[in-house]
A and B are shown apart, each in its own frame.
Chain A
Amino acid sequence: MIRTAGLTKRFGAITAVDSIDLDVREGDIYGFLGANGSGKSTTVRMLLGLAYATSGDISVLQRPMPKARADVLPMVGALVESPAAYSRLSGRANLSLFDSMHSTGSRRTRRPRIENALDRVGLGGVDSRPVKSYSLGMRQRLGLAGAILRTPQLLILDEPTNGLDPQGIREIRDLLLELRAQGTTVFLSSHLLAEVEQMSSRIGVLDQGRLVLQDDLATLTKPTGRTAIKTPDASEALRLLPGATATQGGLLVKTDDPSSINATLVRAGVRVEALGPERRTLEDVVLAATQISADSIPRS
Chain B
Amino acid sequence: MIGVELQKMVRSRRTWITILLINALPTLVGVLLALTDLGPRPGTGPAFLSAVLSDGTLFPLAAIAIVLPLFLPTAVAVVAGESIAGELQAGTLRYVLVRPVGRTRLLTAKLISVMAFVLLTVLVVAVSAFIVGSLLLGDQSASASVSGTTLTTEQIAVRTALALAYAVLSMLGVAAIALFLSTVVDSPLAAAMGALAVLIGSSLLLTLDAANSLSPFLPTRYWLSFIDLFRDPILWRNVVRGTGLQLAYVAVFLGAAWANFMTKDIND
Contact = CB atoms under 8 A, between A and B. Distances in A.
Nearest to A41: B267
Contact of A88 (B4, B13, B94, B265): B13
Interface string A46-57: 001111100000
Interface stretch (B95-103, B165-173, B228-236): B95-103
A80 B95 contact: yes
Contacts of B102: 70
Contacts of B263: 52
A97 B267 CA distance: 23
B266 A84 contact: no
B3 interface: yes
Interface string A77-108: 01011111111100000000110111000000
A42 B267 contact: yes
B8 to A, nearest CB: 7
Q: Which of A73, A87, A102 has the most CB of B within 10 A?
A: A102
A184 B267 CA distance: 27
Interface residues of B, number: 23
A151 to B, nearest CB: 15
Contact of B90 (A42, A50, A70, A86): A86
B100 A70 contact: yes
Contacts of A45: 94, 265-267
A74 B100 contact: yes
A279 interface: no
A83 B90 CA distance: 10
A69 interface: yes
Contacts of B92: 84-86
A84 B96 CA distance: 10
Contacts of A102: 1, 99-101
A204 B100 CA distance: 27
Nearest to B13: A88
B4 A49 contact: no
Contacts of B100: 49, 69-70, 73-74, 102
B8 A86 contact: yes
A52 B261 CA distance: 12
A80 B8 contact: no
Interface string B1-19: 1011001100011000000
A85 B91 CA distance: 7
A80 B98 CA distance: 10
Given A51-B266, A51-B267, A101 B98 contact: no
A228 interface: no
Contact of B1 (A73, A78, A82, A101): A101
Nearest to A149: B99
A93 to B, nearest CB: 9
Interface in B137-182: none
B99 A73 contact: yes
A118 interface: no
A76 interface: yes
B98 A50 contact: yes
B186 to A, nearest CB: 15
Contacts of B3: 100
Contact of A101 (B90, B96, B266): B96
B94 A80 contact: yes
A146 interface: yes
Contacts of A83: 91
A84 B94 contact: yes
A136 to B, nearest CB: 13
Interface of B: 1, 3-4, 7-8, 12-13, 90-92, 94-102, 263, 265-267
7 contacts: A45-B266, A84-B92, A88-B13, A101-B96, A101-B99, A102-B1, A146-B95
Closest 3 CB pairs between A and B?
A84-B91, A73-B100, A51-B265
